[in-house]
Amino acid sequence: MPASAPFTGVIPILATPFHDDESPDHASLDRLIRFFGELGVDGFTVLGVLGESNRLTDAERTALIKTAVAAAGGRPVIVGTSHTGTAATIALTREAAQLGAAAVMVAPSKQPVPNDAVVFEYYRRVIEASPVPVVVQDHPLSTEVHMPAPLLLRLANEFPRVACIKAEATPSPNKIAALKAGLVRKEVSVLTGLGALYGFFDLERGSDGFNTGFAFPEVLQAMVARMRAGDAEGARRVFTRYLPLMVFEQQPGVAIRKEILRRRGLLASNRVRHPAGSIDAATAEQLHRLLEATFPGQDLTRPVRIEA
């Protein structure tokens, strides 16, 4: 698995921390980024679906991007700039670039009648207006837009600004294989999302790494390192060892992931912004037992030891 493309390896999608009164918690965001940076991650993504971007005001977005770029210590920050309007997406993209984003992540918006030509034109306008590279996010679960591989390949092969495809359409291994086979511009990477639920299988089919919010990047780094070393069996063992936690964490919403980050000492509060809810007591107890079984005797506020 080569590391030649600009966005490869492990690039966590970050939660947006809130205080208990639901105001943005910049200190926790700074702490989260610096901790993951010390782990050696390859960059950060903010203001994605996990980042509750649709629940933020414009002023909050601006301030959070500034905090993220300052805390990143030179590592690339990818900013989600998706919007239902093309002009608004372009404006958010230009602002992110002005604030220091290394790239933007853009997903399509649902149209009354599915239309690949409209999706292509949306991306064409955004890509040509963007001052920075673009990550094309293919996540039909949240967008309700299904982009076939030929459409994604046309975007990647025709526009030099496209640096990465975030492949989150199931079955993801098959689609990743089709994308890797059809890429003419080999500097374009294909990254795995979906909480790494299909992570090993995606890596087997050519994924260049992970762009997802799983709260233990150490696990994803171990999988990538083993695949790059030609140790597919080792990567499979890591995946199998930690898969129950991935499955539990990937339940709908961001409440479980935020609670894990709180338990890691990275977020002061697990608050999810209304109308979504934070974790309930019974789920929190299940999570506690799962974390104890997954990382026995380990201090989760420190980098965890990966066993397989």
Looking at the domain assignment, is residue 217 inside a domain? yes
Would you give the DSSP letter of residue 61? H
Task: Assess if residue 308 is contained within a domain.
Answer: no
Q: What is the pLDDT of residue 5?
A: 64
Query: pLDDT by residue (tens digit) across 55-114?
Result: 999 999 999 999 999 999 999 999 999 999 999 999 999 999 999 999 999 999 888 887
For residue 15, give the DSSP letter.
P
In what helix (H) or strand (E) does residue 51 lie, and over which residues does it extend?
A: none
Confirm if 184 and 159 have CB atoms less than 8 A apart: no
CATH number for the domain including 112?
Answer: 3.20.20.70
Give pLDDT tens digits along the chain (308 positions): 334 468 999 999 999 999 999 999 999 999 999 999 999 999 999 999 889 999 999 999 999 999 999 999 999 999 999 999 999 999 999 999 999 999 999 999 888 887 999 999 999 999 999 999 999 999 998 989 999 999 999 999 999 999 999 999 999 999 999 999 999 998 999 999 999 999 999 999 999 999 999 999 999 999 999 999 999 999 999 999 999 999 999 999 999 999 999 999 999 999 999 999 999 999 999 999 999 999 999 999 999 999 98
Tokens 């496209």 belong to which residue? 162
At position 3, the amino acid (one-letter code) is: A
pLDDT score, position 6:
82
17 within a domain of the structure (yes/no): yes
Inside any domain, residue 240: no
Contact (Cβ atoms closer than 8 angstroms) between residue 169 and residue 140: yes
**148 falls within a domain:** yes
Q: Which two tokens stand for residue 75?
A: 């590592």
- Distinct helix (H) and strand (E) counts, the chain: 12, 8
With respect to residue 237, please indicate whether it lies within any of the assigned structural domains: no
Question: In angstroms, rounded to a whole number, what is the distance separating the alpha carbons of residues 156 and 189?
Answer: 10
- Report the pLDDT value the prediction gives residue 113, as an integer from 0 to 100: 81
Range of the domain at 43: 9-232
User: How high is the pLDDT of residue 4?
Assistant: 47
pTM: 0.96
Q: How many domains does the chain have?
A: 1
